[in-house]
Amino acid sequence: MSKPHIVFLVAEDWYFCLHWLPVARAVSDAGYLVTVVTKVDQHADEIQTAGLTLAQFDLGRGRFNPATETARVFRLARLLRRLKPDLTHHIGIKAIATGSYAARQAGVGASINLFAGLGYLFASEQRRVRALRKVLRPLLAGPLKYRSSRVETLNQDDCDRLAADGWIDPERTTVLPGSGIDLERFTPMPPPENAVVTLAVVARMIRIKGIDLIVEAVRRVQAAGTPCRLLLVGKPDPANPSSYSVDDLQTWGSLPGIEWRGHVEDVRTIWQEADIAILASHGGEGVPVTLLESSACCRPAIATNTPGCRDIVLNNSTGLLVEPDNLLSLVDAAQVLVADKKKRLRFGLASRHLVETRFTSHRVASMILQDYDCLGLEP
């Protein structure tokens, strides 16, 4: 008998490799044929070396255009008819919106719709974004509740909100512990021996991550007489309406004690150098992979008390939580951790223990395999 065929549909190959490659590899190891359908850029070799098949498809990003999206659904349906999957696994809202209709049109027997954080679409209260939510909810509420499909979210808050707003059936939803972390790749690190305590934010350089607040908080800590340094690690995302500009980042990077590194290929080098992870997210996260990575490396974190962030940063246990968009509380938390080495060490060890017990890629893969089993697929 041939292996059951799973298609992972995701917008970008870099995103798939960052978040989901270990899980997809575990699915393949469990006896499934796995194809990744994505926009192929620089990570084809990484995906294929993992033993996965790769197919090019551009889901598109940016503004929603009904005519463009309808044409994209038909193109994807043609591709799925050629691939003949037994199940499509749609990761992210754009993949869900396009994949749900294309899979049904192509006669795919089952699908899983994974909300990898609710993102800008749910975090923003701009008028046009609220209007887009109103358009999308009735379009997606039906496909998300098909008997041949399941929904996955990365934290309980997202599940509760989607259910309350009528998008999903919570009885057919699995809450995953984030996208998981590969503990063989991200291992405990001794604290760095810095002359000045170093904070790092590793993220796309977009406004929803609160980069401007972090910069201002660090400047105020410095001005108060507490020496510290900040690394901004990541690049802008021009397709995202909340992206910072290169000029913004270069300006911040020219300030004393602040450095913009841009994209770093191996983020472990950052956690070898940094004492503290920081993320001032306004919301929309699943469970931020940057906090999973820093926690696995025994780094304490400062983060906002928002869905996903508060799953991995436990206040006064693995780090410090602050209220979103609250500069003064962010300053206070930074001052506390910068000044207290013993607390940083204690929080860092607790962070590693938390990811070992709750957030491993193995655990996430096991839960996904159970969802496949619920839909009648097993190797």
Residues 176-218: tens digit of each pLDDT? 999 999 999 999 999 999 999 999 999 999 999 999 999 999 9
SS3 sequence of 164-226: HCCCCCHHHEEECCCCCECCCCCCCCCCCCCCCCEEEEECCCEHHHCHHHHHHHHHHHHHCCC
Whether residues 225 and 117 fall in one domain: no
What is residue 24's predicted lDDT score, i.e. its pLDDT?
96
Whether residues 343 and 224 fall in one domain: yes
Q: Is the dihedral of CA 330, 332, 338, 342 positive or negative?
A: negative
Whether residues 37 and 137 fall in one domain: yes
Q: At what angle are helices 93-105 and 127-144 packed, to 10 degrees?
A: 40
Query: pLDDT-derived band of residue 301, with 50, 70 and 90 as boundaries?
Result: very high
Tell whether 230 is covered by a domain: yes
Split into its structural domains, the chain has a count of 2
Residues 236-249: tens digit of each pLDDT? 988 777 899 999 99
Residue 261's beta-bridge partner residues? none
d(CA 58, CA 292): 28
Whether residues 132 and 39 fall in one domain: yes
pTM equals 0.91
- 303 and 309 Cβ atoms separated by less than 8 Å: yes
> What is the spatial order of strands in the sheet that 301-304 belongs to?
258-262, 229-233, 198-202, 276-279, 301-304, 319-322
> DSSP 3-state assignment of 154?
coil
Whether residues 113 and 149 fall in one domain: yes
Whether residues 352 and 370 fall in one domain: no
CA-closest candidate to residue 287, choices 351, 348, 244, 330: 351
Tell whether 190 is covered by a domain: no
* CATH number for position 265: 3.40.50.2000
Q: Residue 47 carries which side chain, given as an amino acid letter?
A: I
Residue with the larger pLDDT of the pair 130 and 195: 195
Tell whether 193 is covered by a domain: no
Tell whether 127 is covered by a domain: yes
Whether residues 102 and 160 fall in one domain: yes
Tell whether 189 is covered by a domain: no
Tell whether 317 is covered by a domain: yes
Whether residues 122 and 41 fall in one domain: yes
Q: Which of 123-137, 250-264, 295-309, 312-326 has the lowest mean pLDDT?
A: 123-137
Whether residues 28 and 155 fall in one domain: yes
Domain holding 307, by residue range, is: 198-358
